Structure 1
Amino acid sequence: MSDNTPQDIQNNWMRMVEQMNDAMARSVEQNMEAQSKFMETWAKTIEDSMPDEDTMGESFEAYQRAYGVWMDAADQMYERVTDAAEGEDVAFTEFRDIWLRSANEAFKEVMGTTAFAAAQGNLVESMMEMQQQAEDVSQDTLEQFGLPTRDDMDEVGERLVELERRQQRVENKLDRLIEMAESSQEA
């Protein structure tokens, strides 16, 4: 037998509904933040790469599909919150799983586009240029301090390899001369 009064039961119910509402509000807020970041990143990618009209159309279609995935996730969340409010046992991990699956699906929609590939190519190209610039600055700095640069070390390495080759040729010739000398003494 429970010692709970009707008032206690109502208070517990209200607390549970409030927690569910808070969880739903946080989920919706996180969803909107994720969509906003996603859209900003996507827009920046498109802006930076300025694709042709077909690629742009493909990108918009991909974004629309991704947006549809997010809206389906919101619908699923609403259904699960409603189920919980009606007394069904709904684990909070279900909400997390819904958003994780949706995020994966939405990102797949966009990442598979030509515009995304072009943007990634531009990003890699920019990073390579920055890396080269940093390497050039590093080489110049080393040179100014009178320290060996990578070019200097490469040159030393090449000279060592050439010296090793020459040494091997000399050793091979010496081995042949020794063999000839030994065979002429035996005869």
Structure 2
Amino acid sequence: MDSDLEHTPVLGWQQAVEWQYETARAILKQSLEVQRAGVDSWLNATKSVVPSESPQREQLRRLEWGYDIWEETLLNILIHLDDAISEEGIDLRQLQMICLHAMDDAFSEVASRPVFAEDMNDTLEEQLTEQRQLNQLRRDVLHALNLPTDRSLEEVGKWLLQMEARQKKIEEKLDAILEAADIEGEEQFKVIE
């Protein structure tokens, strides 16, 4: 008995799959065209109201640029979509790789722009500034409540380490004195008392 099941192809199945695929492709293309028209109309209307040298105008340019990259990414996926389709159906692993490569290309495009590096630098600087302010606020609150801060604990830790080192030196000197006096065992305790 053969373990491979044989299926007879359903008449019209291949045509139905092809029709669904072509319909989905056409709908996606039309959707992109409608979205592009909507974004362009919105940008044109907004640009007519926003002064040319305002920060909002720069944000509009970035928004338009971001949409262009997003649209290019989807078109790139559409172009390579045929690579994931075979007579057996859609190879989901191949489709996933197509999408990942398209998104990787888009991210590379975004990350290669100087404006991205500037924005990332500004964002990081803002976060570090906020973190410093929060740390200072935390220290101020702890100080007002007469509780130790991280700096206070560090100072106490350093002091304890110094005390431990001094104690060790004193013990070493004491051992040397006792050894020089040639006192052993119980006699050591009598001298200490």
User: TM-score normalised to the size of structure 2?
Assistant: 0.53
Amino acid of the structure 1 residue aligned with 2:158: E
Q: Percent identity?
A: 21
DSSP-derived class of the 1:146 partner? coil
The alignment status of 1:76 with 2:75, answered yes or no, reads no
Which runs of no fewer than 5 residues in structure 2 stay unpaired?
1-7, 40-54, 59-64, 184-193
Deviation string for 1:94-116 (max 9, x for gaps)? 33321111111221233245443
DSSP 3-state at the match of 1:177: helix
The C-alpha deviation readout for 1:54-76, integer Å capped at 9, x for no partner, is xxxxxx8xx98997665433322
Match of 2:23 in 1: 21
What is the deviation of 1:13?
Answer: 4.4
Determine if contact 1:69/1:102 at 8 Å carries over to the other structure. Answer: yes
Q: How far, CA to CA, are the matches of 2:28 and 2:174 in structure 1?
A: 82
Paired residues of 2:25 and 2:78 also in contact (CA < 8 A) = no
- Looking at structure 2, the residues matched to 121 and 148 of structure 1 have their Cα atoms a distance apart, in angstroms, of 34
Q: How many corresponding residue pairs? A: 146
Cα deviation digits, residues 110-137 of structure 1 (max 9, x gap): 3245443343333222222111111122
Partner Cα separation in structure 2 for residue 179 and residue 72 of structure 1: 85
Equivalent residue runs for 1:20-169 within 5 Å: 21-22=23-24, 25=27, 71-77=75-81, 79=82, 88-91=87-90, 93=92, 94-169=94-169
Structure number having the greater helix percentage = 1
| 1:165-184 matches, cutoff 5 A | 165-182=165-182
RMSD of aligned alpha carbons: 4.4
- Distance in 2 between the 1:171 and 1:158 partners? 20
- Quick check: which has more Rg, 1 or 2? 2
Higher normalized contact order (CA 8 Å, seq sep 6+, divided by chain length): 1
The answer on whether the counterparts of 2:77 and 2:102 sit within 8 Å (CA) in structure 1 is yes
| TM-score (norm. length: structure 1) | 0.55
Amino acid at match of 1:132: R
Quick check: 2:69–2:106 contact (8 Å CA) kept in 1? yes
| Cα shift at 1:177 | 1.7
Contact 1:139–1:149 under 8 Å retained in 2? yes
Q: Which amino acid aligns with 1:154?
A: E
Q: What CA deviation, in whole Å up to 9, does each residue of 1:30-57 have, x standing for no partner? A: 9x8xxx9xxxxxxxxxx8xx9xxxxxxx
Which consecutive residues of structure 1, in runs of 5 or more, have no partner in the other structure?
A: 37-46, 51-59
Give 1:143 deviation, angstroms.
2.3
Cα 1:66–1:27 change in 2 (3 A) is closer
